[in-house]
Chains A and B, each alone.
Chain A
Amino acid sequence: MARAFQKIYTKITQITKATCSVRATHVGYDEMAIVDGRLAQVIKIVGDEVSLQVFRGTEGIPTNAEVIFLGKAPTLKVGEQLAGRFFNAYGEPIDGGPVPEGEEREIGGPSVNPVRRDQPSELIATGIPGIDLNNTLVTGQKIPFFTDPDQPFNQVMATVALRAQADKIILGGMGMTNDDYLYFKNTFSNAGALDRIISFMNTTEDPAVERLLVPDMVLTAAEYFAVDKNEKVLVLLSDMTSYADALAIVSNRMDQIPSKDSMPGSLYSDLAKIYEKAAQFPTGGSITIIAVTTLSGGDITHAVPDNTGYITEGQLFLRRDTDVGKVIIDPFRSLSRLKQLVQGIKTREDHPQVMNAAVRLYADAANAKTKLENGFDLTEYDQRALAFAKEYSRSILAIDVNLDTTEMLDRTWRLFATYFKPEEVNVKKELVDKYWKN
């Protein structure tokens, strides 16, 4: 890493928990440095006073510590050798293997020119009807799981990743527990998919601020495979709430005025910079991002899920349905904004109407349930709606169902015929004539 004529500075003027300032000249904004042997990055320059964010924290740094500027922004060496490897937040191997060779690229690079993107149009089949039927995913999409920490989101994400037929799966762990990290590693290994996996990991055991580097590392690798190699890349980011927490720590140390929920005012832009890396490229390559945003008590009005919702193309909600005792993809609060690009086009023509009708009837059941809870008598229709909802939840919404899309549609039509009359379903007549299961 050492350069010729590298300047070493020793005049540290200020130290806080996560940052320190040093008198130095000829330093570039965003440049990396080593402070007392720890990696740091320039976050503010005023005159000859340079403020650095020390990723590992400033514990024990003396005022006469050596500060070496590296003359470049953080970089990653990209190449085929990345495949199958596990790295830390700095892009250093943690699997005992050699340092991969490749072209050195700055992470956090520029955005894609919007006119150079293609419209996403390729369906990602996961076999889970709660996703494929109601919230169909498309390559080039960005979508998070909104979930309470106790839901099995990592399991669902691993299932989706393995069934998605991606050329590369790049996992970015931010504040992930070591157990979950090993779960991913084992699941992918058991599925024989290790050669398609690349992982950049910051676990709960690592310093929080380090995880700010993870998404950019992941996405620099993703862009290499998607743009240079025209591959279909699936990026998994877990957990973006921990990432935002780290942003808040840094912004707080920089004396910035916090906005909603103590988050920095730039949270929207910070998150958008990451999620917007998802793209379908005209040459066939794509980056699809599936992330996790953990909620606190299902509260989606908190600044992190709220800003995320405005950025991502929908969200998937996990919820335990106590009526059937299974974890389901909540059809009310989940949404895939790109679904209409494939529903009824890449899937059977009745897909959009069947999906909407089923959710509407499920909503009728929810109303009936409220009535029941308030102690009112149920109508005969209410009874049927409730019975439908239970079966729909068990055989369509539950995350342990695995079907192809046509089977999902047929199964839903069967449920309609079991519990309803055609005119109660409000589907276009020609579709009813063609698909109604007597």
Chain B
Amino acid sequence: MPTKGIVKGIISNLVIVEVDNPVSQNEIAYIDLNGNKLMAEVIKVIEKNVYVQVFENTRNLMVGASVEFTGHMLEVVLGPGLLERNLDGLQNDLDKMDGIFLKRGQYTYPLDEDKLWNFVPIAQIGEKVTAGSWLGEVDENFQPHKIMVPFVLTGEYTVKSIVSAGKYTIHKVIAVVEDEEGKETEITMVQKWPVKIPVTTYREKLRPFKLLETGVRIIDTLNPIVEGGTGFIPGAFGTGKTVLQHAISRQAEADIVVIAACGERANEVVEIFTEFPELIDPHTGRKLMERTIIVANTSNMPVAAREASVYTAMTIGEYYRAMGLKVLLMADSTSRWAQALREMSNRLEELPGPDAFPMDLSAIISNFYGRAGHVILNNGQEASITFIGTVSPAGGNLKEPVTENTKKVARCFYALEQDRADKKRYPAINPIESYSKYLEYPEFEEYVSTRISPDWIEKVNELKTRLLRGKEIAEQINILGDDGVPVDYHVIYWKSELIDFCLLQQNSFDPVDAVTPIERQKYIVDMVVEICRTEFEFDNFNQVSDYFKKMINMCIQMNYCEFHSEEFNDYRKKLDELVKSKALETVEE
């Protein structure tokens, strides 16, 4: 008998329900509003009064409305056919909804229930299996989608029967497993999992070390993200957060990309809807949309579902990770999620923490980032979830609770800077303040020394030092004036400008410049380092800037040309001549 209740109070989307039977924290309930069922989640219980946050607008709801509890927490449906879906924060399939406007109480199933999937068994009868073991696979957009023992099953099971290869729908029983007491469980291609609980069907979590190529030079070269790593991008509005996020989700070398559009602009999601089905995945040559799942809870959609949306996206990511795939999860923006928590905490009249955010914000953020990672599954396969979140700090001030708490847990920090954005130096990632902790990992150094080149880390560190030195000198020039510092200083400054213009700045709207594969990044780094190590002679500082501007212009033209095309090689030749014309001596490597 499910627990029932009666509405006693309504304060916006916080509803007080009186119940007579047990309920659990975070249990899902449906409130009846003239036949529409409004989904809600229990967030506080005081004796008979249960406080639920409603995932919909509560307009016209009256005291006395009946409420039915479901006995389970917020769950997602996991099965083949999630790829290419446009879901809302509660995993409803947005394409299946009728009408232009979202209707209250309309819930749609996220999978195609009639589609026949070509199932191939992996497990044998008599095999011992546990939660997450692969029973078989179907082909989902050319990805091997594993059908697994449901994550909710605990203990060891024996495969009693499994269907032979063939076409089945998702609800067809494909295997029967038996536990140690002889109790049988039927398994279909679909399973459910509560979103707020991490899926941990893996043997161990490793320190991540494999470079995850994004094609964005300032990230891959200077502040690399790795498979299973975590990063965050804080930036005031107008600093190019979204453009950068989209670039990463388009270009990253991942098997599956889950994009959680959390409380952001609807037109940005529309951009993904419109462009991803057309764009080509640079790594597989197939349509980008085929590997993408979008969880969209835009800023005008119900606030409580915004919080759910990031968990929905993470759980879907964990499901694909359990299949041995490389998953990239992007959340834009985690600040909106934190604000949703703040709104609810405020309605619950809890004592506020800093900036009126709830006191446990720090724990919530760190638990969430902790769900990412590079793992070894129980069958020995590697898999990962890389998580990159954006943060929208109020007033662009990084000393605010969401940024500070995220900084404690994320290993890569991509600080978008207003000043760089104003100067149109995109991506506006501040090269001095940003960091990637992975550069310091010996495992990573070992990996890139074979993948790219043995002196890679050394060169990257040299570039960083030169950028810092350039910045210091720029400040001195600002104070002392152009002729207040030696001509040599101008050379050092312009070398750092060269690094900035050729390597760090990248035009994400230019078809060639937008994506730089790591081989080409190596070429640019070698070229730039070589120029930087060259000593030049100049009579005065005006000569320095004129000379370097010419050089920078050539490098930029090179970035716009196809790699090793005739035009590209031409520019390189001219550049080498230009370098030679002023060089004192070339330091050989």
Contact = CB atoms under 8 A, between A and B. Distances in A.
Interface stretch (B298-306, B308-316, B445-453): B298-306
B101 A111 contact: yes
Interface stretch (B91-99, B212-220, B518-526): B91-99
B296 interface: yes
Contact of B356 (A115, A257, A302, A370): A257
B355 A426 contact: no
Contacts of B265: 276, 311, 313
A225 interface: no
B392 interface: yes
A352 B509 contact: yes
Contacts of B94: 113-115
B409 interface: no
A31 B60 contact: yes
Given A29-B10, A114-B296, A273-B300, A310 B270 contact: no
Interface in A296-324: 300-303, 306-307, 309-311, 313-315
A134 to B, nearest CB: 11
Contact of A119 (B58, B60, B99, B274): B274
Contact of A268 (B242, B296, B299, B553): B299
A305 to B, nearest CB: 9
A99 to B, nearest CB: 24
The contact size tier of chain A is: 35 or more
Interface string B225-260: 000000000001110001000000000000000000
A360 interface: yes
Given A29-B10, A301-B395, A306-B395, A110 B104 contact: yes
Contacts of A376: 481-482
B361 interface: no
A332 interface: yes
A44 B552 CA distance: 63
A265 B9 CA distance: 21
B54 to A, nearest CB: 10
Interface in A3-46: 25-31, 43-46
A111 B102 contact: yes
A268 B336 contact: yes
Interface string A94-117: 000000000000101111111111
A240 to B, nearest CB: 15
Given A114-B296, A335-B238, A428-B557, A377 B481 contact: yes
Contact of B270 (A109, A114, A269): A114
B9 A424 contact: no
Interface residues of B, number: 73
A47 interface: yes
A25 B342 contact: no
A302 B552 CA distance: 39
B298 A115 contact: no
Contacts of B238: 309, 314-315, 335
Given A46-B8, A428-B560, A114 B273 contact: yes
B231 to A, nearest CB: 20
Contact of B394 (A110, A116, A256, A306): A306
Given A27-B62, A256-B346, A428-B557, A109 B101 contact: yes
B579 interface: no
B397 interface: yes
B399 to A, nearest CB: 12
B549 to A, nearest CB: 6
Contacts of A116: 99-100
A48 B99 CA distance: 36
Max chain B C-beta neighbours (<10 A), residue from A27, A113, A335, A340: A113
A110 B339 contact: no
A30 B423 contact: no
Nearest to B274: A119
A227 B100 contact: yes
A363 interface: yes
Interface of B: 8-12, 16, 57-64, 86, 94-95, 97, 99-104, 236-238, 242, 263, 265-267, 269-271, 273-274, 296, 298-301, 303, 336, 339, 342-343, 346, 352, 355-356, 392, 394-397, 422-424, 478, 481-483, 509, 542, 545, 549-550, 552-553, 556-557, 560
11 contacts: A25-B63, A26-B63, A29-B60, A30-B59, A45-B62, A266-B303, A266-B343, A268-B336, A279-B266, A314-B238, A338-B267
Closest CB pairs A-B (n = 8): A301-B395, A272-B299, A276-B300, A309-B237, A376-B481, A46-B9, A28-B60, A30-B59
